[in-house]
Structure formats: C-alpha cells, structure tokens
Structure 1
Amino acid sequence: MTWRPTLEAATAAVATALYGDRVPVLTGLTAARMHRALPRAIGVGYVAVPTRRRALRLADRESEVRFVTRAVAELDAIAMTTELGQVLVTTPEQTVLDLARADPRAEDLDAQEVIDALWPECDPAALEEIAGRQRMRATYRRVVANR
C-alpha cells in the first residue's frame, strides 16, 4: 500500500498550490477534523478561499475538495500542523459559528455533533466578538440558547 496524506492535508496542499501560502483556511467539518471534534473521516475537504472555484476530485481517492468563498483575512484562524506542513484552520469558535450558520436548525447530525464536541473548547468572549465582527449575531444567539 502506498502512503497518502490525510484528506485534510491534501485539501490544504491543493488550496495552497492554487492560492498561495497562508491564504486558504480549512473550515467547516474539515476544521472540525483538525480539532479532533469529528472522529470519523468524511469524503469532502472544505477550504475557505478568496475567490469562487469549482470543487476538485482527488485522483488518489474517492474524495473531493470543496472551495468556500469567504473573506479569508477576516476569519478567526490558527496555524496547525499536518503531515505536509502548516495550514490555517478556523478556530473552534469560528468553526462552531460557521457550522451553526450553515445548518441553522442543526439538522445535520455531523454539524450538531461537532458543535457539541467543540463547545467546551470555545471562549464565550471570543464567540461573541467573532459573531459581532462577522454579522453572525443571530447565529451566536441561537448557538448560546441551545446550550
């Protein structure tokens, strides 16, 4: 069997090749995997980038990289290490808000599972600050009300 990087590392590598170093930010369920809040692998890597781009299928597996157009400089992100090097990843707080916004009724079991798993890692002040800065106050109130 041949070695291949994790989907998270491959997603970061593809996005970095297209957009440059420290531009793409792993987000959503992919960020959750990096934070170890989603224990099972998923077949999609999510990465925030500054311009619109179609999803790419990976040649070495049945997976794809999905590009989410965002103002990446405004995202609350931290550097994390993959087996291919450093990558920017949304913080637990940003990840919770993004997943709650994407699924406002928390009907996606993965999203709700991740929110529950990441909640103890979240700083309430940081959550509120990010929500205010990114016009996510309604999302913030909904997440806090569900605690």
Structure 2
Amino acid sequence: MALGVGQADYGVSSAALMGTSAAYIHGAVSRRLAVAVLAIPKQRPPMPTADARIVFVKRDVTKLDVERTETELGTGWATTIEQTALDLATRPTLGGIDEPNAYEAIRALMLRADWPLLEDLATTQHRPRALATIVALTGRKSDA
C-alpha cells in the first residue's frame, strides 16, 4: 500500500520501498511490519493507515540503487540488497524494529550482497560509518 501512495502522490519513478520494507521484499525480515518505509522526493509526516503507518523519508530515488519489484498492488521500486543494508546500518530503528533485529537483517542481506557494489555505494553516498557497521557485523574486511 505504501508504494501505491508514494506513486500516486509523486509518480512511479519518485517512490521506492526502503529500509525494513525493502528488507522484507528481499526476505531479510521474516514478517510484515506495522510500519512501511518509503523514499519520496519531499519531506512528509508519517501517514497512518487502517492497519499500519507509512514513514516517508526524503530521498532522491534517482540517486539510490533501486530495482523493480512486484508487490500485491503492482510493480514499483525497492532499494537493492546493498542499498537496503546501507540504509538499515544508517538508521536501524527506522521502520519499527530494534537494533538487534535490524543487524540480523543486515547479516542476512549481506549473504547475497555484491561487496564491491556496497563499497561503491557507501563511497558515493558518503556513508563510511554505515559501511563500518556492516563490516563489523559481518566480520568481513572492506577494500574501501
């Protein structure tokens, strides 16, 4: 539902599931949460829905690493595994989970991640702390 709201208000190419919502799409969060996280081009307050709450994050979707995804309501954008891991490492509690669960989701994502792409995104997006968090959580050394 969150993706549909963002697409209706800002256009298909300007809204993307991110954070815990993208982690759910990628199978790194095992249950649907009562909070959906959506990247959109403008600051906007959270929006309650009948069964959840949508948290909007001001982000330029064209500068995020996104991929097409199918939801029960249609097709749209979600951040890639690597982008999702960086987003979770940056703001682990955004989206209704606590740090330990966010860190577990990051570990699950990183089992399938492209490390050079992750490092490139962290450099391009100026997120060295997020990369350091991921490296610490996974025990892998970074080349960045």
1:120 and 2:107 correspond: no
Distance 1:83 1:40 in 2: 15
In the other structure, the counterpart of 2:64 is 75
**1:83 CA displacement:** 2.0
| One-letter code aligned to 2:10 | Y
In the other structure, the counterpart of 2:9 is 18
TM-score (norm 1): 0.86
| Number of equivalences | 134
In the other structure, the counterpart of 2:91 is 102
In the other structure, the counterpart of 2:127 is 136
Counterpart secondary structure, 1:141: helix
Structure 2 segments unaligned to the other structure (5+ residues): 139-144
TM-score (norm 2): 0.87
Structure 1 segments unaligned to the other structure (5+ residues): 1-9
Contact 2:7–2:14 under 8 Å retained in 1: yes
| One-letter code aligned to 2:65 | D
Counterpart secondary structure, 1:67: strand
Distance 2:13 2:101 in 1: 27
Distance 1:80 1:69 in 2: 20
1:48 and 2:39 correspond: yes
Q: Identity over aligned residues, as a percent?
A: 34
CA RMSD of aligned residues (A): 1.5
Within the candidate set 50, 59, 80, 1:91 is matched to 80
Distance 1:71 1:142 in 2: 23
